[in-house]
Amino acid sequence: MPALDPTLATSVAGIPLAAPVILAAGTCGVLDEMADVIDLSRVGALVTKSITPESREGNATWRVIPAGSAGMLNAIGLANPGLDAFLEHHAPRAKAMPCKVFVSVAGFSVEDYVKVAANIEAFSLDNAACFPAVELNISCPNVKTGTEFGHTPALCREVVSAVRTVLKSTRLFVKLGPMTPDFTTVAHAALAAGADGLTICNTIPAMAIDVESRRPILANTTGGLSGPGLHPVALKLVHDVYQKVARERGATILGLGGVLTWEHAAEFILAGAQAVQLGTGLFVNPRLPYAISKGLAKWVRRQGSGSIAELVGAMRPAEPVAAE
């Protein structure tokens, strides 16, 4: 397997990555399960399953179903081992992992987020900074109140500043959902409260109905749409946040939503993302990160650039096609 192309080396919020390709929260196991199928030294980073203070079984099945060409619906409901079991049984392996590991943190109160984040930082400091970043999931559509902190600037500011206080050396990303009202205002609130970057975006609330039984197919009735149908929506949000908020502050954006080809990843980079995350694409092909890195490296060279970082936010203005 050839080494990663050096043009792909980049950094997110000051964290160096070998490639701008990151495995998204909840789509690559709790921590290192993807190592069974791919060489993790060939991705920039992965994000753990969202960790809550207590363990959670999640919602009843069905909780992952196909959604035709739009992608898939999930209503997992934040199933995870809980903070203590994560630290005891999973986290000790992070030190030896060949990619950066960011820990996704979820909760139902400010105290929940602070507790998990503080314990992650304490573990990381004792273990060779094995978790350089935390990603706050304040945008889960599949649990009650899962999107509350991500939907109003005041609540977003409250949770982000509380977590920032306990993270002395760990970088902080905040993950927002696409249905956030006044998205750029909430994005601004997160950065003003101390976030180093934003992950844009989580799934779109969605559902499917079995017309014969006349019942919703997901046991939770509703879930979140991920995959191709989400991509153009996420791309526009990245564009808006980069133009209106992130560029002037020098804040990092991680573009996420429906990346199935290197072109989707390149679109996110041009719109202003430093790196992209992949979720649904891993279910289609776990080796997709290799293909995306390969396509991006060739594209960087074709664009005459020495580094992918030069292409961040490098979209040109629209050029109307002349009428015949």
Ligand X SMILES: Cc1cc2nc3c(=O)[nH]c(=O)nc-3n(C[C@H](O)[C@H](O)[C@H](O)COP(=O)(O)O)c2cc1C
Q: Could you list the residues that contact ligand X (CB under 6 A)?
A: 24-27, 49-50, 64, 74, 76, 78, 104, 137, 175, 202-203, 226-227, 230, 256-259, 278-281
Q: Which is nearer to ligand X, 124 or 139 (CB)?
A: 139
C-beta separation of 58 from 81 below 8 A = no
* Catalytic residue status for 140: yes
Q: In angstroms, give the least distance from the CB of 286 to ligand X.
A: 13
How far is the C-alpha of 31 from the C-alpha of 179, rounded, in Å?
Answer: 28
Q: Which is nearer to ligand X, 7 or 190 (CB)?
A: 190
How far is the C-alpha of 253 from the C-alpha of 126, rounded, in Å?
Answer: 28
Give the active site residue among 28, 99, 130, 140.
140
DSSP annotation string for 171-187: EEEEEE-TT-TTHHHHH
Question: Could you tell me which of 60, 57, 108 has the C-alpha nearest to residue 221?
Answer: 60
Q: In angstroms, give the least distance from the CB of 324 to ligand X.
A: 38
Q: In angstroms, give the least distance from the CB of 119 to ligand X.
A: 18
Q: Which is nearer to ligand X, 49 or 90 (CB)?
A: 49
Q: Which is nearer to ligand X, 124 or 142 (CB)?
A: 142
Report which residue's Cβ sits closest to ligand X: 26
Q: In angstroms, give the least distance from the CB of 128 to ligand X.
A: 25
C-beta separation of 135 from 190 below 8 A = no
Q: Which is nearer to ligand X, 40 or 78 (CB)?
A: 78
How far is the C-alpha of 246 from the C-alpha of 197, rounded, in Å?
Answer: 8
Q: In angstroms, give the least distance from the CB of 230 to ligand X.
A: 5
C-beta separation of 238 from 253 below 8 A = yes
How far is the C-alpha of 92 from the C-alpha of 78, rounded, in Å?
Answer: 22
Q: Which residue type occupies 48?
A: T
Q: Which is nearer to ligand X, 157 or 175 (CB)?
A: 175
Per-residue buried b or exposed e for 90-116, using 16+ beta carbons within 10 Å of the residue's own CB: bbeebeebebbbbbbbbbbebebbbbb
Cite the DSSP H helix spans in the chain.
Answer: 83-85, 110-126, 148-151, 153-166, 183-192, 231-241, 247-249, 262-271, 280-284, 288-302
Q: In angstroms, give the least distance from the CB of 176 to ligand X.
A: 10
Could you give the residue numbers annotated as active site? 140
